[in-house]
């Protein structure tokens, strides 16, 4: 299979690295408008890289769109017009969603949207246990990391997470809300307190406290921030018959055994970690997601879609607009 990866930053390099692990026979081509970056990736991974789509003369079967989100919509459209199956990282904005959905259907091509937590074994275990329990539950979930620590090698004002429309809090929400809704039910209502706790020059709140009501009756407190100097992904789920705790890694999932009163660790699958990233970044889930895309090309239904993400982005828009004071 011939595969093109567009955007050779951290996510593009991750996809290349994992594709090479999946099948050494894949022929991978890289594209990045930054010629220096393209050369560096070509040297590091032993692949052909180009500075523009028009420079590529090889034919390929599918494309991974790993650029900044602002550029996704037009790149996706161009790739679909070229009859390519498309895998895209999270978009954060819904530009051309309806048009690209229609175009993919017209061309008979896969339009696959990343939602990595859905492929994490921890999330799948939590989902199964919540549904087996069958009772309404509550959860507390904190996801945060100081924004300049995300990519210390990049200038913050040149990194898309500092842009108001694609900001870091919005990215956290776009990552977490799909699996949260899959497990606890569609979101019925949100109540939001938001503020700024850092001295960073940001055009958006850096901290959100979000109370969530789900259609199934479950409730949650979700804290999202780009402030915490300790990168954190910490969750507690509880009702009278259930207590689950998770600290973001496969080895940190625990469930209380009610009869014995002991917290017991739950085995949560493989863990592949790349140096330089937070411990909660398990590359095995990213690999499973790539496998799901390749299966979708063969006809398997993906776990997530542009149609679902369109609704997720509407909720995020509401969270960004919403404050408790506005609801009084």
Confidence of residue 57 (pLDDT cuts 50, 70, 90): confident
Q: Where does a domain end: 84, 113, 142?
A: 113
Verify that 178 and 316 share a domain, yes or no.
yes
Confidence of residue 275 (pLDDT cuts 50, 70, 90): low
Backbone angles phi, psi at 30, to 5 degrees: -110, 145
Asked if the structure places residue 298 within a domain, the reply is no
Which residue in 101, 14, 114 sits closest to 5, CA to CA? 14
| For residue 5, pLDDT beyond 70 | yes
Confidence of residue 328 (pLDDT cuts 50, 70, 90): very low
Verify that 51 and 124 share a domain, yes or no.
no
Confidence of residue 325 (pLDDT cuts 50, 70, 90): very low
Structural contact between residues 75 and 64, judged by C-beta atoms closer than 8 angstroms: no
Verify that 108 and 75 share a domain, yes or no.
yes
Cα(162)–Cα(165) distance, rounded to whole angstroms? 9
pLDDT, average across residues 48-72: 91
CA 297 to chain centre: 20
Q: Is 327 helix (H, G, I), strand (E, B) or coil?
A: helix
C-alpha distances in Å from residue 52, one per residue of 18, 22, 42, 160, 227? 23, 26, 14, 20, 36
- Sheet of 111-113: strand order equals 48-50, 27-31, 2-6, 62-65, 85-88, 111-113
| For residue 284, pLDDT beyond 60 | yes
Residue 278: per-residue pLDDT: 58
Asked if the structure places residue 208 within a domain, the reply is yes
Question: What's the CATH code of the domain at 37?
Answer: 3.40.50.720
Q: Quick one: tokens of 246?
A: 């998770």
Which residues, including other chains, have CB under 8 Å from residue 178's CB and lie 6 or more apart? Answer: 115, 117, 118, 304, 308, 309, 312
Verify that 156 and 225 share a domain, yes or no.
yes
Q: Is 261 helix (H, G, I), strand (E, B) or coil?
A: coil
111-147 tens-digit pLDDT: 999 999 999 999 999 999 999 999 999 999 999 999 9
pLDDT, average across residues 2-9: 97
Domain that holds residue 58: 2-113
Verify that 14 and 92 share a domain, yes or no.
yes
Question: What's the CATH code of the domain at 168?
Answer: 3.30.360.10
Asked if the structure places residue 174 within a domain, the reply is yes
Verify that 126 and 273 share a domain, yes or no.
yes
Cα(285)–Cα(308) distance, rounded to whole angstroms? 20
Q: Where does a domain end: 53, 84, 113?
A: 113
Verify that 140 and 232 share a domain, yes or no.
yes
Q: What's the residue count for the chain?
A: 328
Name the pTM for this structure.
0.93
Confidence of residue 200 (pLDDT cuts 50, 70, 90): very high
140-181 tens-digit pLDDT: 999 999 999 999 988 999 999 999 999 999 999 999 999 999
Verify that 77 and 145 share a domain, yes or no.
no
pLDDT, average across residues 301-319: 97
pLDDT, average across residues 64-93: 97
- Burial class of residue 242, CB neighbours in 10 A (0-12, 13-18, 19+): middle
| Average model confidence (pLDDT) across the chain | 94
Verify that 148 and 200 share a domain, yes or no.
yes
- Give the chain's domain count: 2
Confidence of residue 326 (pLDDT cuts 50, 70, 90): very low
Verify that 245 and 160 share a domain, yes or no.
yes
Q: What does DSSP say about strands 232-239 and 242-246: parallel, antiparallel, or unpaired?
A: antiparallel
pLDDT, average across residues 219-229: 99
Asked if the structure places residue 245 within a domain, the reply is yes
Confidence of residue 277 (pLDDT cuts 50, 70, 90): low
Verify that 79 and 172 share a domain, yes or no.
no
Q: Where does a domain end: 113, 142, 175?
A: 113
């Amino acid at each position: 299979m011939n595969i093109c990866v567009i955007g050779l930053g951290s996510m593009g390099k991750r996809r290349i690295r994992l594709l090479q692990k999946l099948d050494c026979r894949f022929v991978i081509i890289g594209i990045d408008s930054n010629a220096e970056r393209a050369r560096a990736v070509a040297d590091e991974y032993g692949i052909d890289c180009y500075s523009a789509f028009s420079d590529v003369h090889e034919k390929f079967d599918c494309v991974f769109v790993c650029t900044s989100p602002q550029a996704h919509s037009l790149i996706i459209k161009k790739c679909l017009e070229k009859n390519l199956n498309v895998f895209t990282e999270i978009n954060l904005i819904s530009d051309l969603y309806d048009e690209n959905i229609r175009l993919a259907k017209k061309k008979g091509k896969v339009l696959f949207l990343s939602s990595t937590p859905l492929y994490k074994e921890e999330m799948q275990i939590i989902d199964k246990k919540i549904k087996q329990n069958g009772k309404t539950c509550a959860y507390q979930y904190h996801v945060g990391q100081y924004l300049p620590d995300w990519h210390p090698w990049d200038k913050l004002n040149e990194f898309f997470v500092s842009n108001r429309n694609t900001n870091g809090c919005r990215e956290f929400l776009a990552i977490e809300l799909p699996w949260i809704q899959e497990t606890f039910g569609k979101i019925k209502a949100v109540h939001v307190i938001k503020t700024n706790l850092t001295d960073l020059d940001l055009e958006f709140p850096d901290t959100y406290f979000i109370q969530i009501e789900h259609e199934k009756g479950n409730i949650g407190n979700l804290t999202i921030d780009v402030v915490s100097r300790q990168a954190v992904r910490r969750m507690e789920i509880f009702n009278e018959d259930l207590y689950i705790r998770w600290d973001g890694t496969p080895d940190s999932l625990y469930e209380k055994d009610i009869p014995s009163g002991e917290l017991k660790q739950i085995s949560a699958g493989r863990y592949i970690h790349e140096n330089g990233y937070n411990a909660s970044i398990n590359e095995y889930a990213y690999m499973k997601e790539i496998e799901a895309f390749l299966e979708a090309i063969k006809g398997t239904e993906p776990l997530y879609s542009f149609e679902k993400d369109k609704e997720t982005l509407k909720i995020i828009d509401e969270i960004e607009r919403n404050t408790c004071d506005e609801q009084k």
